Amino acid sequence: MSEQYVTNYGPTDDWWRNAVVYQVYPRSFSDLNGDGVGDLAGVIDKLGYLELLGVDAIWLSPIMRSPMVDHGYDVADPRDIDPLFGDLATFDKLVAEAHDRDIRVTMDLVPNHTSDQHEWFAQALAAEPGSPERDRYFFRDGLGDDGSQPPNNWTSVFGGPAWSRVTDEDGELGQWYLHLFAPQQPDLNFENPDVLDDLRATMRFWLDRDVDGFRIDVSHGMAKPADLPDMTDAVEILRHTDDDPRFNDPGVHAIHREIRAVMDEYPGTANVGEVWVSSNDAFAEYVRRDELHLGFNFRLATVDYDADQVREAITESLTATSSVGAVPTWTLSNHDVPREVTRYAPDPAESGLNGGQALAIGALRARAMALVELALPGTVFIYNGAELGLPNADLPDDALVDPVWENSGHTDRGRDECRVPMPWEGAEPPFGFSSTPDTWLPVPADWAGLTVEAQLEDIFSTLSLYRQALELRYARPEFSGDTVEWYGAPDGCIAFRRPGGLICAMNASTEPIPLPPGQVLLVSTPLDNGLLPPNTAAWLI
């Protein structure tokens, strides 16, 4: 049986419709000034590597001025570079040198909240309840006779209540303010015109410096329901559902239209939104023609290495985008979710494998899934280190710095384990990432075989696989067409075809399977007597 999904996004050559975008997590990419934290000079230094890899664009996680409570997602000045990363001159150099290499530069924009160190928040704290300064955020009186109860029952995504109470200048306890994330990240009120005006100014500030677009943080969270109704369900830390009143308020779409209007002043630029919603209809609303150019659809980043789950994730994503003629996006990981190698590793307790054996299988599966995502129509996002097959790192408790660890009362280890610095070269940590061994997160000593240097020399490495895959995807006509046609495949396997002729087959069963007819272009691990082994994918034409 075969099904067809038409994405209908038309024959246009906008770069972002069919691109490979590489996510640089700047803290962990390359540290040139030797302070143990990556920087913009380090990114410039590695542009040759990114060109060799063959990416079309980079997305820089936040680099604006920040006290770094949430590692840059708490912005104190959205129109300056944090000194930890460099300065505006270095940023301009990065953009110019990337453009010289035909690499576009997109950057994170964090409109939902500011840092508590932003000048607006200081002004709000100094001002009276009901003042215009407080109106830029969500300040409310507490409930109960003495106002000692938070205004509603919302919890923070990072754990604990979503409200904190301020102490007024006279030392008395005062109003409460809303923060969906850490207490140091107060939510902005988009009903206040200053907020949108300032966002427009920030966008134009960076677009005038030649950036090619933005990744918009918490794109599904900027609007809040007027009466801030209680949540009905308890939710887990770092999770929420579509009917959670904290997110996906219908008012958010008017904000996206305003954002789009600014982007349209700069032809050739594009936004991708972080859209954590599950329903296809809800997702599609964010990528209507006058809203986001692209939306992250996280289905593929959350499913197991399982044929039915992968196929469903692909068909659901395509159904969502095709319903509004939008471009699909694909990603296996980012700085918020466990790395795919670790996610796909069989559970040692259930499989009887030791940790190393389980990770080795996870690595094979991650290679297979890389071929699946790179075979699909639309735009693919690769998180730095995915191309090296990095697993999550095992970190000791005392190394953890994600605010989730503290705010959850040490019940959730947070996201540090997927944010460890990149291993570049050599035999000892930090493997060329920095000149100091004292890096912001420790790099595991057993990553020597995973360095860029080691993998460039090995044609069977994960890095070599990515390089070949990107080159083929870029050069071969068989990757054309906006549809995916499913082939019948043995149980536990998937196979699909692009109109241009590319066939992708993936084996998630436990037995080798025959390949579909065709000439093999690339395999994620060698064939077994002409059969596709378990934990492997192949491209054929």
Token pair, residue 69, equals 């409570």
User: Could you identify the residue written with the tokens 């996610």?
Assistant: 343
- Taking the alpha carbons of 149, 155, 161, 163 in that order, is the dihedral positive or negative? negative
Dist CA 427 CA 450 (whole Å): 10
Name the percent of the chain in helix, strand, coil, to the closest 5: 30, 15, 50
User: Could you identify the residue written with the tokens 């460039």?
Assistant: 456
Dist CA 378 CA 178 (whole Å): 37
The residue at minimum Cβ distance from ligand NOJ is: 73
Dist CA 305 CA 509 (whole Å): 10
Smallest distance, ligand NOJ to C-beta of residue 335, A:
6
User: Which residues, numbered 95-114, are part of the site for ligand NOJ (CB under 6 A)?
Assistant: 110
Give φ, ψ of 44 to 5 degrees. Answer: -55, -45
Site string for ligand NOJ, 466-495 (x = CB under 6 A): ------------------------------
User: Could you identify the residue written with the tokens 């040139």?
Assistant: 32
Smallest distance, ligand NOJ to C-beta of residue 415, A:
7
Question: Virtual CA dihedral for 528, 533, 536, 541, nearest 10 degrees?
Answer: 60
| Among 39, 82, 217, 244, the one annotated catalytic | 217
Smallest distance, ligand NOJ to C-beta of residue 336, A:
5
Nearer residue to ligand NOJ within complex by CB, 276 or 496: 276
Nearer residue to ligand NOJ within complex by CB, 107 or 372: 107
Smallest distance, ligand NOJ to C-beta of residue 190, A:
16
Site string for ligand NOJ, 218-257 (x = CB under 6 A): x---------------------------------------
Residue 378 near residue 7 (C-beta atoms within 8 A): yes
Q: Does 336 bind ligand NOJ (CB under 6 A)?
A: yes
Smallest distance, ligand NOJ to C-beta of residue 221, A:
8
Taking alpha carbons only, the member of 89, 70, 267 closest to residue 184 is: 70
Q: Does 217 bind ligand NOJ (CB under 6 A)?
A: yes
Smallest distance, ligand NOJ to C-beta of residue 23, A:
10
Nearer residue to ligand NOJ within complex by CB, 66 or 525: 66
Q: Does 400 bind ligand NOJ (CB under 6 A)?
A: no
Site string for ligand NOJ, 168-197 (x = CB under 6 A): -------------x----------------
Of 5, 9, 29, 73, the residue at the interface with ligand NOJ (CB under 6 A) is: 73
Smallest distance, ligand NOJ to C-beta of residue 322, A:
26
Nearer residue to ligand NOJ within complex by CB, 23 or 507: 23
- Taking the alpha carbons of 265, 58, 19, 108 in that order, is the dihedral positive or negative? negative
The contacts of residue 285 (CB under 8 Å, 6+ apart) are 253, 291, 324
Smallest distance, ligand NOJ to C-beta of residue 78, A:
13
Nearer residue to ligand NOJ within complex by CB, 73 or 479: 73
Taking alpha carbons only, the member of 267, 269, 272 closest to residue 292 is: 272
Dist CA 25 CA 278 (whole Å): 26
Q: Can you spell out the DSSP letters for 21-38?
A: EEEE-GGGT--SSSSSS-
User: Which residues, numbered 492-521, are part of the site for ligand NOJ (CB under 6 A)?
Assistant: none
Dist CA 357 CA 353 (whole Å): 6
Dist CA 418 CA 439 (whole Å): 15
Number of residues that bind ligand NOJ (CB under 6 A): 9
Taking alpha carbons only, the member of 81, 528, 15 closest to residue 536 is: 528
**Residue 229 region by backbone torsions, left for phi larger than 0, else alpha for psi between -120 and 50, else beta:** beta
Dist CA 395 CA 369 (whole Å): 26
Would you call 217 a catalytic residue per the annotation?
Answer: yes
Smallest distance, ligand NOJ to C-beta of residue 215, A:
9
Of 56, 198, 212, 274, the residue at the interface with ligand NOJ (CB under 6 A) is: 274
| Among 264, 265, 312, 511, the one annotated catalytic | 265
Nearer residue to ligand NOJ within complex by CB, 115 or 321: 115
Residue 307 near residue 350 (C-beta atoms within 8 A): no
Amino acid at position 192, single letter: N
Helix axis angle for 307-322 and 355-375, nearest 10°, is 30
Dist CA 14 CA 293 (whole Å): 11
Nearer residue to ligand NOJ within complex by CB, 418 or 470: 418
Token pair, residue 344, equals 């796909």
Q: Does 330 bind ligand NOJ (CB under 6 A)?
A: no
Dist CA 432 CA 159 (whole Å): 35
Smallest distance, ligand NOJ to C-beta of residue 237, A:
12
Nearer residue to ligand NOJ within complex by CB, 179 or 498: 179
Q: Does 70 bind ligand NOJ (CB under 6 A)?
A: yes
Nearer residue to ligand NOJ within complex by CB, 217 or 316: 217
Which residues, in sequence order, are bridge partners of residue 64?
Answer: 81
Dist CA 250 CA 245 (whole Å): 10
Nearer residue to ligand NOJ within complex by CB, 105 or 110: 110
Query: Using CB under 6 A as the criterion, which residues of the chain lie in contact with ligand NOJ when the complex forms?
Result: 70, 73, 110, 181, 217-218, 274, 335-336
Catalytic residues: 217, 265
